[in-house]
Amino acid sequence: MDLLLIVRDALASSLVGSLATAMSAREAGRRVGVLFTAEALAALARGTFAWPRELSGQATRLLMADRGPALGLPLLSKGEGRQLDARALVARAHGAGVELYACPLWAALLDLEGRLPEGLRAIDRPGLVSLVQDAKRVVGSL
């Protein structure tokens, strides 16, 4: 693996930045993986990522929604309710060949074993160590 990004917080801004970067690296021919851990894995399982306060107002949400499609980001809803669609972005990244993994420790703690969100691969703890150790570059922390 050329690049492994670790997403651990449940902020939509973190998810958007990480997955957009992962897809760009994949388009450039790199083998890329994203590891979801802690609250990011919980948010993915629930389908709810929160926006940080500075990005959560309606004017900002609409601005991002208007600019998102030109940057390859999917939208949820139309009209005044439009916003970037975090769940669709995960599916888009998976479809683009980004490898998505669930942290085995947090999958167990959150009782998600055998019930992972679509597109995520289950790995065991030795597999996690190998994934991190064998990646040429790791961005993020567990």
Q: Can you tell me the distance from the alpha carbon of 126 to that of 103, in angstroms, rounded to the nearest whole number? A: 11
Lowest mean pLDDT, pick from 2-11, 25-34, 86-95, 125-134: 86-95
Element (H, E) at 102: strand 99-102
Q: What is the structure's pLDDT at 88?
A: 83
Is-above-0.85 flag for pTM? yes
Residue 140 clears pLDDT 70, i.e. is over it: yes
* Phi, psi angle pair for 2, to nearest 5°: -80, -40
C-alpha neighbours within 13 Å on the C-beta side of residue 111: 0
- pLDDT tens, position by position, 55-84: 877 888 788 778 778 888 777 777 776 776
Q: Can you tell me the distance from the alpha carbon of 118 to that of 101, in angstroms, rounded to the nearest whole number?
A: 11
**CATH 3.40.1260.10 given to domain 3-52+85-139:** yes
How would you label 96-106 residue by residue, b for 16+ Cβ within 10 Å and e otherwise? eebbbbbbbeb
All residues at 6 or more sequence positions from 80 whose CB lies less than 8 Å from its CB, including other chains: 58, 62
The domain ranges of the chain are: 3-52+85-139
Question: How sure is the predictor about 6, in pLDDT bands with cuts at 50, 70 and 90?
Answer: very high
